Structure 1
Amino acid sequence: MRALRLTAFHGRQLLRVPFFLHQALTTPLVFEWLRAIGLEGAGAAIQGDLWLLAGIAGMWSTTTLAVGIIGFQRFQGTLEHLATSVLRPGAVFGSLAVSAMLIGLPGFPLAFAAQALTSGNPSIRWSDALVVAGAALACAASSSVLAAVFVLFRSATVFEPLVLTPVWLVTGVVLPLSALPAWLVPLALVHPLTSTVLAVGRTSGAVLVPIASSVVVSTGWFAVAALALHLALRRVRISGTLGLG
């Protein structure tokens, strides 16, 4: 229950920051618009599930940006208090990572409405709910690992843009896996978001296999995050780098 309360608290705080709210609302719309322009320019039809891909792109963008608040907490001097909390590191930093993912959820209905208003003929099926849930789990697992990186390195916020776009490209959000070099595909499948993207557009039972794969990979990432947070906190306590001094 404490972790849930912490998640709700962090989510409210993040949504009060105009920058994060702006990213949550505009990224899926811009992604959808640019993707539609590209498809029309190539003479291809706009997919009915474009809104779903746009929502996933927006959620990942918001996740990577919002989890960077850990770096800002170091600047504020509050990271030291978080690191010395009586709660488990997974509850303290995991709740922040999950809240960073949650503020990206409004991007899905917003992208759907935008596609409907522009006569993009959006399609929707019950399996789309599984895709959204899989994307949420994948982003939460990924951001939990990122949280450990932001705790460990003072300058980690500099690398945020280097995380955002490559994941878009490799996981199939921008380009299909078939367009990637053969050697890169196995690496792409290591990221939990890849299997979720593969589930987009599939019907009923066909969506279950990639979503199950995403859940398994996400579970592995959560395990890595727990170990990484433990090691990161141990390292920064020894080196005295929780603050800026």
Structure 2
Amino acid sequence: MGVKENFLSIQERIRHACEKTGREPEAVNVVAVTKYVSLERTREALHAGIRHIGENRVEGGAEKRDAFPDRGTWHFIGSLQSRKVKRMIGRFDYLHSLDRLSLAKEIQKRSEGPEPLKCFVQVNVSGEESKAGISPDETMAFIQSLREYPAVQVVGLMTMAPAVDNPEDVRPYFSKLRELRDEVEKRNYPHAPCRELSMGMSGDFEVAVEEGATFVRIGSALVGTS
């Protein structure tokens, strides 16, 4: 199927997941992960009505953003090296992988305007060594320390769940992130409203939505892989 048909199918699945938990489907944003697809496929995604585009490479993402300068909201969803912040700033609206103070410092240094970069703090809920992110126990102190960097606004938390055959197996990780988000939000930090949850991908986004995801990052099930 084309991107538009895939998008309609995913929206229906999100609607069903929201019905099960009493949520409004409009509260869930679909980020089309276009890192493996062409400019033409990205254009098709934008034409299909998808507003959010996600990339995990600065170079490829910058090329696509420059090709569509007035369209879409752009998300950097991969691990970001400090030396590439300069090129990322101004091209991406959201960063989903803030996980160290040195990165926040570089964002502050390279900031180009009065508006802060909307950031998700990446939390390694599963504790897997192969995954980036800070531990849940370190999250609160890390977010508190970010008040020193006004170019950073913590809009929410992000996690990557383990790869499993049964999506139900990752529910506890999504639930844990939601509980952690709630703890941060209650603190009412001016620099960290922390209302959003970036979690769930092609294989498990319905469970993530049931657990409160406000951004789901979908690649292969939406735009394919080539």
- Normalised by the length of structure 2, the TM-score is 0.25
- Normalised by the length of structure 1, the TM-score is 0.24
Structure ranking higher on relative contact order (CA contacts 8 Å, 6+ apart): 1
- Could you say which structure has the higher strand fraction? 2
